[in-house]
Amino acid sequence: DAKTTQPTSMDCAEGRAANLPCNHSTISGNEYVYWYRQIHSQGPQYIIHGLKNNETNEMASLIITEDRKSSTLILPHATLRDTAVYYCIVRPISSNTGKLIFGQGTTLQVKP
């Protein structure tokens, strides 16, 4: 079973920031938080990951709460091409071969 919960869907206006929350209250100290997205009929695409510090890359920012029980993915200036299903996943640090279990994700609709 997935160890994360996310809202089913969200809307965002084009050009505005999209803030996607994720609850992972049972995360352990040796697990990363990963975010992927899946655009319709394509394979999932890596976005960002983090352990306990906030992270930023060219695609997004990841804010992890101090207790690590939740996180927020921020797309600073959403475009229509960001419309996708966003998945928040936890994965053990120690293994590059452990399974990735997907939950239902959040369907983000970016509107003009």
Partner 1 sequence: GAVVSQHPSRVICKSGTSVKIECRSLDFQATTMFWYRQFPKQSLMLMATSNEGSKATYEQGVEKDKFLINHASLTLSTLTVTSAHPEDSSFYICSASSAGERYGYTFGSGTRLTVV
Residues near partner 1 (CB under 8 A): 32, 34, 36, 38, 41-46, 49, 85, 87, 91, 93, 96-97, 99-105
Nearer to partner 1, 12 or 89 (CB): 89
> Is 58 strand, coil or helix?
coil
Nearer to partner 1, 16 or 104 (CB): 104
In the complex, the smallest distance separating the C-beta of residue 44 from partner 1, rounded to whole angstroms, is 5
Cβ density class 69-106: b for 16+ within 10 Å, e for less: ebbbbbbeebeeebbbbbbbbbbeeeeeeeeeeebebb
Q: Could you identify the residue written with the tokens 């053990």?
A: 92
In the complex, the smallest distance separating the C-beta of residue 12 from partner 1, rounded to whole angstroms, is 20
Nearer to partner 1, 67 or 94 (CB): 94
> Is 26 strand, coil or helix?
coil
